[in-house]
Amino acid sequence: MVLGAKRKKFPVFQLNSMTLLNKRLIAVLHDALMSGLALALAIAARYGFNNLPPTEKYMGWVGLFVIISLIVFKLSGLGRGLWRFASLADLRAIVIAATATISVFVICLFLISRLDGLPRSVPFITWFMMIVMIGAPRLAYRALRDGSLKRVANIQKPDTDIQHVLLAGRVGDAEHVIRTYQLETTGRYKVHGLICTDKKRGGHSIRGIPILGDVADLKNLVERLQRTDIAPDAILSVSSRPPSDFTKILTSAAADLGIPIKRATPRPLDLSEPDFSELTIDDLLGRPPVKLDRSKMNNLISGRVIIITGAGGSIGSEVVRQVLKYAPSRLVLIENSEFALYNIDQELGLTAPTLSKRPVLADVRDRDRIMEIVSTEKPSIIFHAAALKHVPLMEENPLEAIQTNVLGTRNVADAAAAHSVDGFVLISTDKAVKPTSIMGATKRAAEAYCQALDVSGTHTRFITVRFGNVLGSNGSVIPLFRKQIEAGGPVTITHKDMRRYFMTIPEASELVLQAAAFSVDNSNQRGRIYVLDMGDPVKIVDLAKILISLAGLRPEKDIKIKFTGLRPGEKLFEELFEADEDNQPSGADGVIVATANLLPLDKMSQKIEDLGKSVKLGSNDLCILKLGEIVPSLHKDSMDLKAAPFK
Local confidence band at 646 (pLDDT 50, 70, 90 cut-offs): very low
| Spatial contact of 557 and 258, defined as CB atoms under 8 Å apart | yes
Q: Is a pLDDT exceeding 80 seen at residue 625?
A: yes
Rg of the chain over all Cα atoms, to the nearest angstrom: 35
Same domain, 528 and 413: yes
pLDDT digits (tens, 9 = 90+) for 335-362: 999 999 999 999 999 999 999 999 999 9
Final residue belonging to a domain, choices 226, 244, 279: 279
- Answer yes or no: is 616 within a domain: yes
Local confidence band at 9 (pLDDT 50, 70, 90 cut-offs): very low
Range of the domain at 270: 159-279
Same domain, 227 and 357: no
Same domain, 521 and 593: yes
pTM tops 0.75 = no
3-class secondary-structure state, position 571: coil
Q: Is a pLDDT exceeding 60 seen at residue 589?
A: no
Same domain, 136 and 170: no
| Spatial contact of 423 and 415, defined as CB atoms under 8 Å apart | no
Write down the pLDDT at residue 613: 92
Identify the bridge partners of residue 467 per DSSP, sorted by sequence position: 429
Same domain, 216 and 328: no
Q: Is a pLDDT exceeding 60 seen at residue 121?
A: yes
Distance of CA 420 to the CA centre of its chain: 37
- Answer yes or no: is 8 within a domain: no
Longest CA span, the chain = 124
Local confidence band at 132 (pLDDT 50, 70, 90 cut-offs): confident
pLDDT digits (tens, 9 = 90+) for 303-335: 999 999 999 998 899 899 989 989 999 999 999
- Answer yes or no: is 285 within a domain: no
**Residue 76 vs residues 21, 34, 92, 570, 620: alpha-carbon distances, Å:** 16, 17, 12, 71, 84
Q: Is a pLDDT exceeding 70 seen at residue 392?
A: yes
pLDDT digits (tens, 9 = 90+) for 473-497: 565 677 788 788 888 888 888 888 7
How far apart are alpha carbons 373 and 362 in whole angstroms? Answer: 9
CB atoms within 10 A of CB 7: 5
Position with higher pLDDT, 113 vs 569: 113
Mean pLDDT on 357-371: 96
- Answer yes or no: is 536 within a domain: yes
**H-helix or E-strand spanning residue 512:** helix 505-519
How far apart are alpha carbons 160 and 62 in whole angstroms? Answer: 55
| Spatial contact of 461 and 424, defined as CB atoms under 8 Å apart | yes
- Answer yes or no: is 598 within a domain: yes
Same domain, 145 and 174: no
Local confidence band at 18 (pLDDT 50, 70, 90 cut-offs): very low
Q: What angle do CA 464, 536, 494 make, to 5 degrees?
A: 90
How far apart are alpha carbons 143 and 445 in whole angstroms? Answer: 68
DSSP tag of 268: P
**Nearest to 233, CA basis, from 196, 204, 260:** 260
Same domain, 175 and 254: yes
Same domain, 540 and 464: yes
Identify the bridge partners of residue 169 per DSSP, sorted by sequence position: 196
Write down the pLDDT at residue 176: 78
Q: What does the chain come to in residues?
A: 647
Mean pLDDT on 387-410: 93
Local confidence band at 642 (pLDDT 50, 70, 90 cut-offs): very low
- Answer yes or no: is 4 within a domain: no
- Answer yes or no: is 6 within a domain: no
Write down the pLDDT at residue 436: 83
Local confidence band at 290 (pLDDT 50, 70, 90 cut-offs): low
Write down the pLDDT at residue 208: 72
Q: Tell whether the torsion through CA atoms of 369, 375, 377 and 379 is positive or negative.
A: positive
pLDDT digits (tens, 9 = 90+) for 186-226: 667 788 878 877 666 666 777 777 888 777 777 788 888 77
Local confidence band at 236 (pLDDT 50, 70, 90 cut-offs): confident
Same domain, 83 and 187: no
Local confidence band at 6 (pLDDT 50, 70, 90 cut-offs): very low
Q: Is a pLDDT exceeding 50 seen at residue 634?
A: yes
What lies within 8 Å, CB to CB, of 410 at 6+ separation is: 446, 449, 608
What lies within 8 Å, CB to CB, of 535 at 6+ separation is: 244, 285, 286, 287, 501
How far apart are alpha carbons 30 and 33 in whole angstroms? Answer: 5
CB atoms within 10 A of CB 299: 15
**Residue 304 vs residues 378, 382, 439, 565: alpha-carbon distances, Å:** 10, 11, 33, 48
| Spatial contact of 65 and 40, defined as CB atoms under 8 Å apart | no
pLDDT over 70, % of the chain: 72
Mean pLDDT on 268-290: 54
CATH number for the domain spanning 453: value is 3.40.50.720
What lies within 8 Å, CB to CB, of 16 at 6+ separation is: none
Q: Just list the catalytic residues.
A: 431
Same domain, 436 and 556: yes
Q: Is a pLDDT exceeding 70 seen at residue 234?
A: yes
**Residue 301 vs residues 26, 295, 323, 413: alpha-carbon distances, Å:** 57, 10, 7, 19
Position with higher pLDDT, 409 vs 502: 409
What does the mean pLDDT of the chain come to?
78
Kindly compute the dihedral angle of the four CA atoms of residues 215, 217, 222, 228, in this order, to the nearest 10 degrees: -130
CB atoms within 10 A of CB 462: 27
Local confidence band at 575 (pLDDT 50, 70, 90 cut-offs): low
**Residue 392 vs residues 196, 398, 537, 571, 573: alpha-carbon distances, Å:** 44, 10, 21, 12, 16
Local confidence band at 584 (pLDDT 50, 70, 90 cut-offs): low
How many domains are contained in the chain? 3
Pick left, alpha or beta for residue 272 (phi over 0 → left; psi -120 to 50 → alpha; otherwise beta).
Answer: beta
pLDDT digits (tens, 9 = 90+) for 433-466: 888 889 999 999 999 999 899 888 888 999 888 8
Q: What angle do CA 412, 417, 420 make, to 5 degrees?
A: 120
How far apart are alpha carbons 457 and 518 in whole angstroms? Answer: 19
- On the CB side of 324, CA atoms within 13 Å amount to 23
Instruction: Lay out the sheet containing 357-361: strands in order across.
Output: 357-361, 330-335, 305-309, 381-384, 423-429, 461-467, 529-532, 591-595, 582-585
How far apart are alpha carbons 497 and 537 in whole angstroms? Answer: 11
Report for 50-64, 226-240, 536-550: range of highest mean pLDDT: 50-64
Same domain, 469 and 592: yes
- Answer yes or no: is 643 within a domain: no
Final residue belonging to a domain, choices 98, 117, 149: 149
How far apart are alpha carbons 504 and 581 in whole angstroms? Answer: 26
Pick left, alpha or beta for residue 117 (phi over 0 → left; psi -120 to 50 → alpha; otherwise beta).
Answer: left
Q: Is a pLDDT exceeding 60 seen at residue 382?
A: yes
Q: Is a pLDDT exceeding 90 seen at residue 507?
A: no
How far apart are alpha carbons 71 and 141 in whole angstroms? Answer: 25
Distance of CA 332 to the CA centre of its chain: 28
Q: Is a pLDDT exceeding 60 seen at residue 232?
A: yes
Q: Is a pLDDT exceeding 60 seen at residue 645?
A: no
Q: Are strands 163-169 and 234-237 parallel, antiparallel or unpaired?
A: parallel
Same domain, 494 and 623: yes
